[in-house]
Amino acid sequence: MTEKVGTTGLVLSEKLLWEKSRPGRCGMSIPKRDVEESPLDDSLTGEGPELPELSEIDVIRHYTRLSTWNYGVDTGTYPLGSCTMKYNPKTNERQAALPGFAGAHPLLPTEKAQGALEIMHTLEQAFAEITGLDAVTLQPAAGAHGEMTGMLVIHAYHKKQGRQRTKVLIPDTAHGTNPASVALCGYEPIPVVSDENGILSVESVAAVMDEDVAGIMVTNPNTLGLYEENLKQIAALIHAKGGLVYGDGANLNAVMGIVQMGKVGIDVMHLNLHKTFSTPHGGGGPGSGPVCVTRELEPYLPVPRVTKTGDLFDLDWNRPDSIGKLGAFYGHFGVMLRAYAYLRMMGAAGLKKTSQLAVLNANYVKEQLRDTLHLAYDRPCMHECIFSDKNQKPHHITTMDMAKRLIDHGYHPPTVYFPLVVEGAIMFEPTESESKDELDQYIAAFKAVAQEATENPDALHQAPKATVVRRLDETTAARKPCLAG
Amino acid sequence: MTKEAHELNLPADIKYAKAHEWARVDGEIVIVGLDDYAQDQLGDIVFVEMPEVGETFDKDSVFANVESVKAVSECYSPVSGEIVEINERLEDEPELVNNDCYGDGWFVKIKATNLAEMDSLMDHEKCRASVKGE
């Protein structure tokens, strides 16, 4: 094994701001009062909140030190399954910072915002092409917001048909937010169990499908990283009974340019620009969750709609069947710009290659680690692969132990204990960003951890060792949270 | 580390539901909790969301939610009836479910509408067999 990536170099410990606080210390000087003193109303006076007292350099050092503890895809491999943590090309930031875009006020009259509207219109068309659907809204602020928008569209559709329905089918391999989105729209989520191959069977859907079911919410590829092979027949079955098919696009990174979900029978689909289209994800957000629909559902999309007449772009508010407006303006425009930059940089062929490499990388990890870790479903995977801690159980080593030990080797662990249908799950999504060299080093580190599990299990029980803090007591943190300073 | 089937504590004097709730009859009242398998699989339990006294539930409907460090899970009522008492200690001491699942870690007392529903539940031997996948 070559030299470890993880070191214990000059990583500084840091106290809480309250622990560093000294009475009377202050980071700013308030100018001398130059007006008459005026007493405050009694209700506004009294003891102030307990805030830390610090100088400017105390605060700067505090946050700068904390920032050195950060880990992200710009630091190293970050293979969180189900999250698509791909590299965000720096040109995205550059394009989004162009003064004409960055300085544009959302209340500019449309004739002064033609460039911005053109970007939105073009982006909508691109997403329509990628999904094989007809109309797109860019308004939702993130993935779950997109889910809710899509379900509101389905709700509005059934209302227009004159008969509202009460239930929505959700497979156990769907994304965790799906049942919540359904419930928020007033539907009851009905679980559907996946089969022994980890995908939905036509029979299991048929068993629960009736005319009170508004639709099904499918994530494809699903959270097991498997392609829903029966989706076309399932969609036909749902449509035959008047239901609609919602596709959660969280895992679109596996199928761009390969499958158009509209052709498989999906009526509504949201995308995650912060996953598939290389805009910042997680704490680096905000996100963006455009929703794509069939022509039949277009009247229900949120207002305003971006329209094009001749060479002129405009915003159309006159949509009587629309579910209404989702936010203050038109969505996260800065995020749209980044996604647009990515799309134009990659082109159609580049996006297809992206999906092919993402799937290849996941299958490479799966094949390289299959003798080390127990493979949950032994079949070709899509963009992510799932193992469990079954092989390490005889040594009393859990998924958590291996994940913590991996940190000592200088690697961020993959997603653990999700999805719930696999006990002790370990889920890798390398994405297309990682080269074979990077993957080989990560795989070697995981193999070294697995070797330790058999030879020196205590090293794993005590991990992580080479970190600022050791293994945290997550149970006490959850049972007795200390939220004050 | 989770327990093997033979290591589970499954008392013989109570009945078990499919999702590993246990039920003990006391007159017309049924005391309900989570069994050793459920608490062991869930890991450290950090929060229990209880129903309110007076609420009624059908058999197999969701009456409580349990949150552990790993996941949030639903608990299904083993019998139909009305909640007559809840274990208020669990609000501040969810760890009782891990430490004493058949004693201080009980969840609710249900006034059953049909005690015959108890017959549809598993005894301890069947419960252990179901864990083994038999």
Residue B6 falls inside a structural domain: no
Q: Which residue of A has its CA nearest to B72?
A: A420
What CATH class does A348-476 carry? Answer: alpha beta
Q: Which residues of A touch B67 (CB under 8 A)?
A: 478
CATH of the domain at B122: 2.40.50.100
For an interface test with B, give the residue of A399, A475, A476, A480 to mutate (most B CBs within 10 A): A475
Q: What is the pLDDT of residue B1?
A: 60
Instruction: Name the residue with higher pLDDT: A175 or A414.
Output: A414
The residue written with tokens 């982006």 in the block is A123
- Average per-residue pLDDT for chain A: 94
Check if CATH label 3.40.50.300 holds for domain A90-346: no
The shortest CB-CB distance from B1 to any of A396, A423, A474 is to: A396
| Number of domains composing chain B | 1
Helix orientation angle between A177-184 and A143-160, rounded to the nearest 10 degrees:
40
Looking at the domain assignment, is residue B10 inside a domain?
no
The 10 Å Cβ neighbour count of residue A372 is: 18
Asked whether the beta carbons of B76 and B40 are under 8 A apart, the reply is no
The rounded distance, in Å, linking the Cα atoms of B124 and B37 is 12
In a domain, B7, yes or no: no
Nearest CA in chain B to A474: B69
Q: What is the pLDDT of residue A483?
A: 76
Check if the beta carbon of residue A153 is closer than 8 Å to that of residue A141: no
Reading the block at residue A297, the tokens are: 């559902």
Task: State whether A479 and B94 contact (CB < 8 Å).
Answer: yes
pLDDT at A1 over 70: no
Alpha-carbon distance A478 to B47, whole Å? 8
Least confident of A123-127, A145-149, A176-180, A440-444: A176-180
Helix (H, G, I), strand (E, B) or coil at A137: strand
Asked if the interface predicted TM-score (ipTM) of this complex is over 0.95, the answer is no
> Rounded to a whole number, what is the distance in Å from the CA of B27 to chain A's nearest CA?
35
Output the pLDDT for position A482.
81
- Give domain status of residue B11, yes or no: no
- List the B56-57 sheet strands across, edge first: B15-16, B21-26, B29-34, B108-112, B81-86, B56-57
Contacts of B95 in chain A (CB under 8 A): 479
Residue A334 has pLDDT above 90, yes or no: yes
Q: What is the pLDDT of residue A469?
A: 86
| DSSP class of A97 | T
* Domain containing residue B72: 16-128
What's the pLDDT band for B134 if we cut at 50, 70, 90? low
CB-based contact B47 A478, cutoff 8 Å: yes
User: For residue range A267-286, what is the model confidence (pLDDT) as tens digits?
Assistant: 999 999 999 999 998 766 79
B5 assigned to some structural domain? no
Per-residue model confidence (pLDDT) at position A54: 96
Instruction: Give the mean pLDDT of B67-83.
Output: 91
SS3 A301: coil
pLDDT confidence of residue A170: 96
pLDDT of residue A479: 87
Q: Which of residues 8-47 of B touch A (CB under 8 A)?
A: 41, 44, 46-47
Q: What is the pLDDT of residue B114?
A: 94
Q: Is residue B88 part of a domain?
A: yes
Percent of chain A with pLDDT over 90: 83
* Amino acid occupying residue A412: H
Structure tokens at A183: 């419930």
Task: Domain ranges for chain A, please list them.
Answer: 90-346, 348-476
| A219-257 pLDDT, tens digit each | 999 999 999 999 999 999 999 999 999 999 999 999 999
pLDDT classification of A214: cutoffs 50, 70, 90? very high
Integer Cα distance of A415 and A282 in angstroms? 14
pLDDT tens string A281-303: 876 679 999 999 999 999 999 99
Inside any domain, residue B29: yes
The 3-state DSSP class for residue A478 equals: helix
Q: Which residue has the higher pLDDT, A324 or A49?
A: A324
Amino acid sitting at position A64: T
Contact B69 A474 (CB under 8 A): yes
Q: Is B70 on the interface with A (CB under 8 A)?
A: yes
* Single pTM value for the model: 0.88
d(CA A359, CA A353): 10
pLDDT tens by residue, A51-97: 899 999 999 999 999 998 888 899 999 999 888 999 999 999 999 99
Please check whether residue A182 is in contact with residue A217, taking contact to mean a CB–CB distance below 8 angstroms: yes
